[in-house]
Structure 1
Amino acid sequence: MAGLDESGSNPDVSLLYDINGLAKDSPHWFDRAVEFVGEYGLLLALVLLVVWCWWGQRKRGTLDDAASSVAAVVWAPLAAGIAVLVNVPIRGFVERPRPFVDHRGIDVLVDGKTDFSFVSDHATLAMALGAGLFVAHRKFGLVGIGLAVLEGFCRVFMGVHYPTDVVGGFALGTAVALLLSPLAMALLTPLAKAVGRSARVGRLVWSRPAEAVAALPGASSSQAAAAQDPDERDLAA
């Protein structure tokens, strides 16, 4: 893809210079902080947010509710992985160079970025996680989307992406997380229910798996006791 015009007639490049120019006016410690946050910190925060949401969704009142909620949480990281895979052929087709390759005066805060620029993997991952969380839990999702927007700003601030790289990543991550959500839920919810009925790993889905085990046809009292007391599991087996 041909380099973009450096003149002010191109809003993508103008916004790139405006945002990246903030790095030149910022103290060194702030640039280093943004580098860490934009490269690793925000993605780690989103992963922790997913874990937090999963922990809370396990405490639903019934197994059916817990299973569907946990399935939605599990879909968030799966959607992020699928979105990044979808991005591989997109990058190869567009072949857009990084902004510092075609434009002078870009303050690059992180080295080693030699691959293509469109679309941003970081923005794609972050927004897929945020949109996926929104399917599972609105409040967690809004926080996740906010972190994703901040991630996109950091990528432009760091000089490694154009604003449209970030917008493209947001669109790709959102599309995968939302459009494939019905199919994902149809596949993941029965699996989550099956896991939730297990005396050994049921707590991954529901915080009270003993109730599910006791409700199963033919379930013995020792199986229900094993689900309630982890120390009894080996005896029940």
Structure 2
Amino acid sequence: MAGLEESGSNPDVGLLYDINGLTRDTPHWLDRALAFVGEYGLLLALVLLVVWCWWGQRKRGTLDDAASSVAAVVWAPLAAGIAVLVNVPIRGFVERPRPFRDHSGIDVLVEGKNDFSFVSDHATLAMAIGAGLFVAHRKFGFVGLGLAAVEGFCRVFMGVHYPTDVIGGFALGTAVALLLSPLAMALLTPLAKAIGRSRHVGWLVWDRRAAPVSAAAVSESPASSPSEAAADPDERDLAA
């Protein structure tokens, strides 16, 4: 292939051709499916994963636990948004063209990519969400990190990014999600607690139905309250 000759000893370009070259050995329908997954599907899956994690974290036993857990989940998409904003000046400074503009023989599976290549927004978003979820919940975090890795592969497979674009996105997303996490939790946790105390929107943070019933609450229930029993003389007469 002529494109391989252009890669020279550059491992970044060589790996680009190796991964993108897989499109020649896969059916056309699979290429189309992976293009859709890489462009939209995996990001949608990560959003649904965040929603799933949030729904479960609401069911913590106490408001304090639920508020801190929900705050950590909310931080994941917020971190992704911040990471993409940070990427805007990086792209403008580096000004790296898309790989198909500088190298021949690249199979491009998605159209309309005319902006700069480094770093990958999709990889940044995916890894920021994955790393943020890892802070909130280990199991959901591992799934998120796995989806982010697949996203990175798809971006190179689609011919719209170099491998180093993806690695840069992974590094940026991880750095924002982890380094800003303490500050984010300090700000989001009190806000989550305030929302959790609300009668109208408190369910967004805490599912009160999942809170355990304490022994003290049981002993003071209407059926066993001594004061209420004494207030009902008819029942005492019937028992006699």
Same fold? TM cut 0.5: yes
Question: How many residue pairs are counted as aligned between the two chains?
Answer: 207
Deviation at 1:8, TM superposition (A): 3.3
The equivalences for 1:1-237 within 5 A come to 6-208=6-208
Q: Please state whether the residue corresponding to 1:161 is helix, strand or coil.
A: coil
Cα distance in 2 for partners of 1:155, 1:195 equals: 39
Q: Which amino acid aligns with 1:71?
A: A
The structure-2 alpha-carbon separation of the partners of 1:6 and 1:66, relative to structure 1 and needing over 3 Å to count, comes to same
Q: Which runs of 4+ in 1 moved over 6 A?
A: none
Cα distance in 2 for partners of 1:126, 1:158 equals: 16
Q: Which amino acid aligns with 1:70?
A: V
Q: Which amino acid aligns with 1:156?
A: V
Contact 2:130–2:143 (8 Å) recurs in 1: yes
Cα distance in 2 for partners of 1:167, 1:120 equals: 8
Deviation at 1:209, TM superposition (A): 7.8
Q: Could you report, residue by residue, the CA deviation over 1:77-110 in whole angstroms, capped at 9, with x for unpaired residues?
A: 0000000000000000000000000000000000
Question: Between the two proteins, what is the percent identity of the paired residues?
Answer: 88
Q: Could you report, residue by residue, the CA deviation over 1:185-231 in whole angstroms, capped at 9, with x for unpaired residues?
A: 000000000000001000000001898xxxxxxxxxxxxxxxxxxxx
Cα distance in 1 for partners of 2:148, 2:174 equals: 11
Q: Which amino acid aligns with 2:166?
A: V
Contiguous gaps of at least 5 residues in structure 2? 212-240
The residue aligned with 1:217 is none
RMSD: 1.3
Contact 1:203–1:209 (8 Å) recurs in 2: no
Q: Could you report, residue by residue, the CA deviation over 1:16-39 in whole angstroms, capped at 9, with x for unpaired residues?
A: 000000012111000000010000
Superposition TM-score, scaled by structure 2 size: 0.85
